[in-house]
Amino acid sequence: MDVSEVTIESVETEEKVSLFRGKAVVDGEVVRFSGIAIYTIGGPTVGVNLEQEDEARLLSKLGKEGVDALVAELQRRIVEGDFVVSGPVRIKRQPL
């Protein structure tokens, strides 16, 4: 499995939580995902969910272990900052 590109297409952030949508190029095919990042003192915690259609396609191609490995790779890249942001970043601020 070769993940050649990870792109975050939109981000909505409020306080210490960010919700995002993006895509990755995996073995030459586009895979879409959504996720959450929670920022804590020890560093961010990131969770990624593949879009249903893409996950079903990848399950038949890579199997459950392959899909789990892909999700772990996407999460690692996001935590380490190994991605490109191509869309809007919205920051919601709480009133003072």
Provide the pLDDT for residue 58: 96
What tokens were used for 54? 């893409």
The Cα–Cα gap between 90 and 69 comes to 30
**Other beta carbons within 10 Å of 35:** 20
Provide the pLDDT for residue 93: 81
pTM: 0.91
Q: Is the pLDDT reported for residue 67 higher than 90?
A: yes
**Other beta carbons within 10 Å of 74:** 24
Q: Is the pLDDT reported for residue 11 higher than 70?
A: yes
Query: What does the mean pLDDT of the chain come to?
Result: 94
What tokens were used for 74? 């996407």
The mean pLDDT of 74-84, rounded to a whole number, is: 96
